[in-house]
Amino acid sequence: MQDAPLKIRILLDYSNTISAAATLADPLPSPDPMSVSWVAGKPTEPMMRTLLDIRLDTCPTSPSLFTRTKTTHRLEYTAARARMSIPPLPAPSNADVLLYNPSGEITETSIRNVAFWRRAPPQWVTPHAEVGCLPGVMRRWLLEQGRIVEAQVGELVKDDLVEGEYILTFNGVEGCRIGRIALPSR
């Protein structure tokens, strides 16, 4: 356990009590957890072995204080995962659900920010913060480093997604990973 990767969770409750817990985490897929943010559209063969299965939700998630802040209030995320037959957290899974708001704008997954390979010339484009996504620390870092750019409001919509297209996912625990879009059956 001494060399095992850990995830640290620090909570602040309504009475200003702080608690912390450490749990085992999966090892990162590469020594540099941000390296895949340099991938241009299609991942290389080694990355294909660790692709995430990203399933488009069948119902919109309304933006709220709970989607824009890191919180333990995760009812919307748990419901979205259940609709896609993905186990609730903290159960490990190589799948996640891609969320969108009532206007059809892509926001995030249940535990990751996202970016899509778009525009001319192509680049990784992340949803605009105003659509209701969490403005996560990894998202901010990738924006500041120029590895991703922020979309215009309405630029990334669910109706433009293509079955099997690649998606860049990222958060502060895992770094960056590549996933592949799975659209619901019509």
Q: What is the pLDDT of residues 2-13, one digit of tens each?
A: 677 777 777 777
- pLDDT given at position 174: 85
Whether this prediction's pTM lies above 0.75 is answered by yes
Domain chopping of the chain, boundaries? 29-182
Q: Which class would CATH give 29-182?
A: alpha beta
Average pLDDT score over the chain = 86
What's the rounded mean pLDDT across residues 105-126?
Answer: 95
Report whether pLDDT(1) > 60. no
Report whether pLDDT(149) > 80. yes
183's torsion region: left (phi>0), alpha (psi -120 to 50) or beta? beta
Report whether pLDDT(161) > 60. yes
The beta strands (E) that lie in 18-156 are given as 18-24, 52-56, 95-100, 106-109, 113-118, 123-126, 149-150
- pLDDT given at position 160: 97
What's the rounded mean pLDDT across residues 90-107?
Answer: 93
| Interval 165-186: pLDDT, tens | 999 999 988 889 899 999 987 6
Report whether pLDDT(151) > 70. yes
What's the rounded mean pLDDT across residues 27-39?
Answer: 64
